[in-house]
């Protein structure tokens, strides 16, 4: 048999035949193109997520700035509301001072006003520091005088000259005290 007769059953030489090596390359190329398309889609998705996160962060920053401004403007509102009754009571006392018949009624009015002020300060979280008999604490007390004492422990508070105050655990003013020392 001649080569022409044997080739009759086979496709002609003009037809493109894929060699196994070329087919593997085409499969690999197709796989890489698909992976590239998937990666581009993921990158696009990540970029959109990034832009949303940046916008969210900017919105949070703006909202926090507005909250800070509002707190600065209206932070004293609660304080003012608590002190208004004290002011009203003092105004009433001044108006009625000339009409007062005796000192006792004036004192009662002053005591009532002081109690209003004490309650208002308590509601606001302001605590009085009155350390009589406690050990001297330079972080919370200011020593005005050291006085010898036979009855008190050395370096303890004998007397409070002016009470101190704390606001939610933070010192507003130290207590001014007289401290004991050994005789």
Model pLDDT for residues 12-57, shown as the tens digit of each residue: 556 666 555 788 888 888 999 999 999 999 999 999 999 999 999 9
pLDDT tens digits for 40-50?
999 999 999 99
SS3 assignment, position 128? strand
pTM: 0.57
In degrees, to the nearest 5, what angle opens at C-alpha 78 toward C-alphas 126 and 173? 25
Going by C-alpha positions, the residue among 167, 76, 179 that lies closest to residue 128 is 167
Per-residue pLDDT reduced to its tens digit, 147-160: 998 888 889 999 99
Q: CA separation (Å) from 76 to 24, 82, 96?
A: 77, 10, 30
Give the span between the Cα atoms of 71 and 166, in whole angstroms: 21
């Amino acid at each position: 048999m001649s080569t022409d007769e044997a080739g009759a059953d086979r496709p002609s030489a003009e037809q493109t035949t894929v060699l196994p090596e070329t087919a593997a390359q085409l499969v690999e190329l197709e796989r890489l193109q698909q992976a590239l398309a998937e990666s581009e889609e993921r990158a696009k998705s990540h970029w959109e997520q990034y832009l949303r996160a940046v916008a969210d962060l900017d919105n949070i920053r703006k909202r926090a700035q507005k909250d800070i401004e509002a707190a600065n403007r209206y932070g004293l509102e609660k304080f003012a509301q608590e002190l208004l009754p004290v002011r009203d009571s003092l105004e009433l006392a001044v108006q009625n001072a000339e009409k007062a018949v005796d000192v006792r009624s004036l004192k009662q009015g002053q005591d009532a006003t002081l109690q209003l002020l004490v309650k208002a300060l308590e509601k606001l979280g302001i605590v009085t520091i009155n350390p009589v008999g406690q050990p001297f604490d330079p972080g919370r007390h200011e020593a005005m005088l050291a006085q010898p004492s036979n009855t008190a422990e050395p370096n303890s508070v004998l007397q409070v000259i002016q009470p101190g105050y704390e606001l939610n655990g933070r010192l507003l003013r130290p207590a001014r005290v007289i401290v004991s020392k050994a005789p």
